[in-house]
Amino acid sequence: MMTKALRIIDIKESDPRKIGHQHGETLRQEISEIAEIRLERMCNTSAFKTVKEVLTLADEHVPLLEQFDMKLYHELLGIAEGSNVSVPRLIVLNNYTDMRDIKPAHLLPSDDCSIIYSPGEESPILGQTWDIHGSAYPYVILLKLKEQMLFSIAGCLGMTGINRHGTSVAINNLSSIDARVGVIWPAIVRKALSCDSAEMAKEEIMQAKNGSGRHYAVADDKQFFSIETSGTKRKIILEKNDVVYFHTNHCLDEEMRKTHTISQESTTLWRFKHLDEVVRHMDLSSPEKVFLALSEVGLPLDAKHPHNTATCGTVVMDIKNRSMLACAGIADKEFLSCNQAITHF
């Protein structure tokens, strides 16, 4: 897979509806395409086999988003208006993995992201790979708002990011066995990133009605939290900011381990072992070094099977300097030297 710079969507609007409208209008074609891909993936990776079934399920998520955060609800409406893609189709685009877990197919595909947190030398550093069906690779973007920078895909509210206060969030998918209709997970990320501190962001995540399993890594200048969730349970499994920490796509907490399953295709156990036994001993003192270290667990695109799991993006947040270092694909030293990867507020 080629490493390339992210397309930056720079939005100066403050009104949520206008933010969404600009997002949707700017990426109208891309949103339409990835919405169709996600709808097809839902029909092929879950027991919901018809478009009507999937969109009916998606519709059930809409009032929960409206109750959870009116601003994000209106932003999603704006994306729908700007892109001419319906709200239910956008719900599928945003919440595909959680919806799939409600009634999964027998052979569940793997979605394999790897997180590194490092106290760093000059600043705490939080980074991850974003590993999903490789057909999502062309749609990866950086969404730059007035108060937040978000690694995302076209049409999505945001998947990981940092705000002007240095509050940062990274995620790993966890396949929950108690999945339900809940708040779409990108909205939970965005709500956490509306907070002035990691402490406040942690509280938002702990109170949200999750749809399925997810691990949230939350950090700022002073604190780091690792939170494992399922559809009905959530637990803070680490609250310590002075140690190197890794997480992949299985629960590390013994109690939370009972709430999820691991796909037979998943590389999560191998990646965690490699991070813990090999990457731990590498120099992780700077954002650039964490960025390159994440390539150790990158998953290449399979050109013959484009829906197979691949690293569609790599993102690292420099918390003290409020900056993001990111690319589409696997982190690459040559790409890093071109200075195309760093974005500041």
Q: What is the 3-state secondary structure (H, E, C) of 171-207?
A: EEEEEECCCCCCCCHHHHHHHHCCCCCHHHHHHHHHH
Mean pLDDT of 313-326: 96
Q: Is the pLDDT of residue 337 over 90?
A: no
CA dist 216 and 190 (Å) reads 12
In the predicted structure, residue 169 carries a pLDDT above the cut 80: yes
Cα dist. 168→148, 158, 174, 240 in Å? 9, 12, 20, 15
Taking the CA atoms of the chain, what radius of gyration do you get in angstroms? 18
Rounded Cα–Cα distance for residues 99 and 182 (Å): 9
Six token digits for residue 241: 């900011």
pLDDT in tens, 263-280: 888 999 999 999 999 999
Query: 5-49 pLDDT, tens per residue?
Result: 999 999 999 999 999 999 999 999 999 999 999 999 999 888 998
228 SS3 class: strand
Q: Residue 38 CB: number of other CB atoms within 10 A?
A: 29
pLDDT of residue 338: 72
Alpha carbons 241 and 168: distance in angstroms, whole number: 13
| Three-class DSSP category at 273 | helix
Contact criterion met (CB below 8 Å) for 265 and 299: no
Predicted confidence at residue 256, as pLDDT, reads 98
At residue 334, the pLDDT reads: 84
For 106-170, give the secondary structure using H, E and C. Answer: CCCCCCCCCEEEECCCCCCEEEEEEEEEHHHHHHEEEEECCCEEEEEECCCCCCEEEECCCCEEE
Give me the chain's average pLDDT, please.
Answer: 95
- Whole-number percent of the chain with pLDDT over 90: 87
Percent of the chain exceeding pLDDT 70 equals: 97
Distance from the first to the final alpha carbon of the chain? 29
Tens digits of residue pLDDT in 69-119: 999 999 999 999 999 999 999 999 999 999 999 998 766 666 679 999 999
pLDDT at 22: 98
Grade residue 135 by pLDDT with cuts at 50, 70 and 90: very high
* Architecture label for domain 14-102: Orthogonal Bundle (1.10)
Residues of the chain within CATH 3.60.60.10 domain(s) are 115-344
The 3-class SS string of 300-329 reads CCCCCCCCCEEEEEEEEEECCCCEEEEEEC
The residues, ordered by sequence, that sit 6+ positions from 115 with a Cβ below 8 Å of its Cβ are 126, 127, 128, 170, 171, 172, 215, 217, 245, 246, 247, 248
For the segment 171-178, the average pLDDT, to the nearest whole number, is 95
pLDDT in tens, 39-77: 999 998 889 989 999 999 999 999 999 999 999 999 999
CB 325 within 8 A of CB 331: no
148, two tokens: 């937040």
* Whether the predicted pLDDT of 340 surpasses 80: no
Indicate the CATH number for domain 115-344.
3.60.60.10
Q: How confident is the model at residue 1 (pLDDT cuts 50, 70, 90)?
A: low
pLDDT for position 343: 81
Q: Is the pLDDT of residue 125 over 80?
A: yes
Q: How many CB atoms are closer than 10 A to CB 110?
A: 20
| Angle of CA points 54, 60, 65, to nearest 5° | 120
Q: What is the mean pLDDT of residues 207-212?
A: 97
Residue spans in the chain of domains classed CATH 1.10.10: 14-102
**What is the three-class DSSP state of 5?**
coil
Confidence of residue 211 (pLDDT cuts 50, 70, 90): very high
